[in-house]
Chains A and B, each alone.
Chain A
Amino acid sequence: MSIDENTAARVAKLARIKVEPEALPALAQEFNNILGFIEQLNEVDIEGVEPMTSVTPQKLKRREDVVTDGDQQAKVLANAPDAREGFFAVPKVVE
């Protein structure tokens, strides 16, 4: 599988990272090097092997479905780049 500049641009878009057009050829080359390394995995016989979901088999604990936290608006907003009137502020999303 070879990644071209268009694919690299699409991946950057999906990842929400701005990549300048002139940086795309080098990025595509890096992806190809890494994916070439990863493709060794195709040599492995994985027939009948389940994908790992949890490395140390354990049953997740359950608890009552009740509120255990909250009322920390000031703390939640304390690190926001732009907080106004008790909310996170962002550029206009809907015209």
Chain B
Amino acid sequence: MTELNKLGLAGARDALRSGDVTSKDLTEACLTAIDGAGALNAFVHNTPDVALAQADAADKRLAAGDAPAMCGLPIGIKDLFCTKGVPSQAGSRILQGFLPEYESTVSQNLFDNGAVMLGKLNMDEFAMGSSNETSVYGNAVNPWRRGNDDAALTPGGSSGGSAAAVAADLCLAATGTDTGGSIRQPAAFTGTVGIKPTYGRCSRWGIVAFASSLDQAGPMTKSVRDAAIMLEAMCGHDPKDSTSADLAVPNFEAALTGDIRGKKIGIPKEYRMDGMPEEIETLWQDGIAMMKDAGAEIVDISLPHTKYALPAYYVIAPAEASSNLARYDGVRYGHRATLEAGDGITEMYENTRAEGFGHEVQRRVMIGTYVLSAGFYDAYYNRARRVRSLIKKDFEDVFAQGIDSILTPATPSAAFGLGEMTDADPVAMYLNDVFTVTVNLAGLPGIAVPTGQNRQGLPLGLQLIGRPWEEADLLSSAYALEKAAGFVAKADKWW
């Protein structure tokens, strides 16, 4: 068998269990693919020694008949996850040299399940960005190109390295995190599947914090089935995260019937934006037709406060970030500026943070500081939190009407060129998350599924939004959409 790195989780798991391949075979295939893919800049810290040791242990477990779902499957881990003894920089200069003394709960859950870590994946600095262009490691590059045009495109962000690595078959799957769309937007830009579960499903312990009331981890995979397998291994109650939900984790894969007959799928009129490209509108209409053909009932719905989600997010997320990132002070870990004679502790803080944080992170920390400062707290921060309550209520109202899930575009465009947005207003970049950010504000599960390609051959994705804690039902609906769309295209290898 050749090109084992092109397998998905389910296919590789079945091949391992039947004894057709070993974890060592799979792992070596991925390590070779990674070595040949430097041009994508997806993996930024390679851990071949860890991977081969874990693969060896997994092969022993498999031989002994003790093989959990992820046993022996090689994956990539986003740089935002703290991994014991392995660089974990959150894509930032300020965490250069940081070697965690502990393992994040999600990566530990995956390792307990037998998963193999190939290395750490590129991302926007502190997960702040939609194009992977704010990373200290430089841009990650999308394996997809516009037809024969060799212009480098963004894989999206912030989980851009994860998306590029999965799309280019450098790993079987990867972890991502999603604060405003950072799993779903890159998945849509790369023809992969990404799910952000309900807030509280995955423990946030050991994941570098950006905006704690919005951050959630999730899997980025080659299929909906793979997403179900990996999500189940990642989530579960964790006493170390007080917001982690003490709920039983369903068998998500067993729930993948793909039977959506009689399900009510809501189509929110507010997601039809002015100036939305025709290809996105067509994609959405095609998706609606697919769900209808599969037996779902299509219902027009209204989520009246949608328009205010992005402005509310750009108060709440920077506010939380300014608080969370206060810990990077040059004292306990990471970068410390070289001090001049006579410099005191204030100069140390100010120089350390000016040198260690990139431009976008500095901007968001300062916006957060401003909206939380005396005299503006009510006008900005409390107002945004009240609007957030209304956005959540919009969803509660439609779910109370019997809607099972909501179908929307995942992104307002296909992947754009690296550098194309450099001179644009920061707000123009923020619009990338216009369809995804509502889901974080309401704490709901959302999944991006590739369902088509534009005229230039770039992948496009749709998003399904589910009821809280009903990821199993959401995944099954996504499975139906995936089957109907039959998206199988892959990027032509140029790297």
A interface, CB within 8 angstroms of B: 3, 8, 11-12, 14-19, 27, 30-31, 33-35, 37-44, 46, 49-56, 58, 60-61, 63, 72, 75-76, 78-82, 88, 90-93
Q: How many cross-chain pairs have Cβ atoms below 8 Å apart between A and B?
A: 164
Question: By the criterion CB–CB under 8 Å, are A12 and B385 in contact?
Answer: no
Contacts A11-B373, A41-B311 hold; do A16 and B346 have CB atoms under 8 A apart?
yes
Question: By the criterion CB–CB under 8 Å, are A16 and B350 in contact?
Answer: yes
Interface of chain B: mostly helix, strand, loop or mixed: helix
**Interfacial chain B residues near A76, Cβ < 8 Å:** 101, 332
**Interfacial chain B residues near A55, Cβ < 8 Å:** 199, 213, 392, 441-443
**Interfacial chain B residues near A52, Cβ < 8 Å:** 385-386, 388-389, 392
Question: By the criterion CB–CB under 8 Å, are A11 and B384 in contact?
Answer: no
Choose from B101, B363, B388 the contact partner of A30 (Cβ within 8 Å): B363
B residues 356-409 with Cβ under 8 Å of A? 357, 362-363, 365-367, 369-371, 373, 380, 382-390, 392
Return the chain A residue nearest B342 by Cβ: A91
Return the chain B residue nearest A45 by Cβ: B390
**Interfacial chain B residues near A56, Cβ < 8 Å:** 198-200, 243, 245, 443, 468
Minimum C-beta distance from A27 to chain B (A): 8
Interface of chain A: mostly helix, strand, loop or mixed: loop
Contacts A56-B245, A60-B242 hold; do A16 and B385 have CB atoms under 8 A apart?
no
The answer, yes or no, to whether B262 is at the interface (CB within 8 Å) is: no
The answer, yes or no, to whether B351 is at the interface (CB within 8 Å) is: yes
Question: By the criterion CB–CB under 8 Å, are A46 and B386 in contact?
Answer: yes
**Interfacial chain A residues near B365, Cβ < 8 Å:** 15, 17
Contacts A41-B312, A90-B348 hold; do A33 and B426 have CB atoms under 8 A apart?
yes
The answer for the CA separation of A90 and B344 in the assembled complex, in Å, is 9
**Interfacial chain A residues near B367, Cβ < 8 Å:** 31, 34-35
B203-214 vs A, Cβ < 8 Å mask (1 yes, 0 no): 000000000010
Question: By the criterion CB–CB under 8 Å, are A92 and B101 in contact?
Answer: no
The answer for the CA separation of A81 and B352 in the assembled complex, in Å, is 11
The answer for the CA separation of A17 and B357 in the assembled complex, in Å, is 9
